[in-house]
């Protein structure tokens, strides 16, 4: 079955880790995303999945997989291939007719961001595959992941939202961040891709945070989404960092690396890598020069990532 599909990337602005315990999170869908193009061919190439993934027009992953048994014949990365086969096996269990051994499926993906950045390379792929297979994205996600699925919610949205998951259901309420705040927000790649699945697994082995902590994190998420006061925004971020730091036993990123920075700094997603949020109190401050001295080169303003 041929088709073309696109899904949006994401950044989790609040409630990292605690989102899995039911805390409300603030999520930003990104204009950067991933496309999937599928062609079905018959003849000499029959019985294969031929997969090519590109970033900036250059292949970063390739694989040839025999169907219907989904046997890896050739690949540029065995680890990624095994993960891909796990996903395709779930798709096959839900829609076995898609993998007809008489035909080949040619999958081409194109991603707007480096797959190492943690902006949603997995969630956008799952959402696109679910659209191709005509299955519920959350159904596919739940069979291959133990996360909160906020990234799946972001993949089909173009506006920031407050996300809450309880059991198998979730709510995503759109919010509008204040234009008095957004020009002061910058997102910076910290330089180390975190394995989300490993981070989730390690977190689930920790004691469950008490309800008071989850309630406060949810309040902070809502207050961050609503405030138009930059000082309040920074105080909320600092409080959020303290709460996570105390629970995880990890030093806040500003204390550890950016103690000389004049504004608030917040870890996003799995702590220790992926993206950071920098708040610039004074818009005349040269954030690029400061970050370059720290060896950080991947820097986005809010408006470079947001849809509006």
CA atoms of 307 and 37, how far apart (whole Å) = 23
CA atoms of 172 and 57, how far apart (whole Å) = 33
Structural domain spans, the chain? 3-172, 178-305
Question: CA 197 → CA 17, 41, 146, 202, 296, distances in Å?
Answer: 12, 34, 7, 9, 25
Question: CA 273 → CA 14, 100, 242, 277, 305, distances in Å?
Answer: 15, 41, 18, 12, 19
- Say if residue 59's pLDDT is above 70: yes
- Say if residue 194's pLDDT is above 60: no
At 124-140, the pLDDT tens digits run 999 999 999 999 999 99
Give the CATH number of domain 3-172; options: 2.60.120.20, 1.20.1200.10, 3.40.50.12780, 3.30.230.10.
3.30.230.10
Residue 162 confidence (pLDDT): 98
Secondary structure (DSSP) of 74-122: EES-HHHHHHHHHHHHHHHHH-GGGS-TTEEEEEEEEESS-GGG-SSHH
Residue 208 confidence (pLDDT): 82
Decide whether 3-172 matches 178-305 in CATH topology.
no
> For the chain, first and last CA: distance in Å?
34
Contact 244, 186 (CB under 8 A): no
At 206-233, the pLDDT tens digits run 788 899 999 999 999 999 999 999 999 9
Residue 101 confidence (pLDDT): 72
| Global confidence as pTM | 0.92
CATH 3.30.70.890: does it fit domain 178-305?
A: yes
As a whole number, mean pLDDT of residues 139-144 equals 93
CA atoms of 250 and 69, how far apart (whole Å) = 44
Instruction: Go through 69-99 and write b for each residue having 16 or more CB atoms within 10 A of its CB, e for each that does not.
Output: ebeeeebeeeebbeebbebbebbbebeeebb
């Amino acid at each position: 079955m041929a088709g073309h599909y696109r899904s949006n990337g994401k950044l989790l602005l609040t409630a990292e880790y605690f989102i899995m315990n039911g805390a409300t999170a603030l999520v930003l869908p990104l204009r950067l995303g991933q496309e999937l193009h599928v062609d079905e061919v018959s003849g000499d190439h029959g019985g294969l999945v031929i997969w090519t993934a590109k970033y900036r027009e250059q292949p970063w992953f390739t694989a040839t997989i025999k169907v219907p048994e989904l046997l890896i014949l050739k690949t540029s990365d065995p680890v990624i291939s095994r993960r891909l086969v796990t996903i395709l096996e779930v798709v096959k269990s839900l829609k076995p007719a898609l993998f007809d051994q008489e035909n080949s499926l040619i999958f081409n993906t194109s991603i707007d961001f480096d797959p190492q950045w943690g902006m949603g390379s997995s969630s956008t792929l799952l959402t696109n595959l679910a659209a191709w297979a005509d299955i519920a994205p959350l159904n596919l996600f739940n069979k291959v992941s133990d996360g909160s699925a906020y990234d799946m919610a972001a993949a089909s949205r173009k506006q920031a939202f407050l996300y809450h998951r309880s059991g198998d259901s979730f709510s995503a309420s759109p919010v509008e961040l204040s234009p008095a705040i957004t020009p002061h927000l910058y997102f910076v790649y910290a330089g180390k891709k975190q394995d989300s699945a490993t981070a989730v697994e390690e977190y689930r082995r920790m004691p469950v945070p008490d309800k008071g902590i989850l309630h406060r994190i949810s309040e902070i998420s809502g207050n961050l989404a609503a405030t138009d006061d930059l000082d309040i925004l920074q105080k909320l971020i600092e409080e959020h960092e303290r709460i996570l730091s105390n629970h995880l036993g990890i030093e806040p990123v500003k204390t550890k690396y950016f103690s000389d920075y004049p504004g608030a700094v917040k870890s996003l997603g799995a702590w220790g890598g992926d993206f950071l949020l920098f708040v610039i109190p004074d818009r005349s401050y040269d954030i690029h020069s400061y970050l370059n001295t720290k060896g950080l080169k991947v820097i986005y303003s809010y408006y470079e990532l947001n849809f509006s």
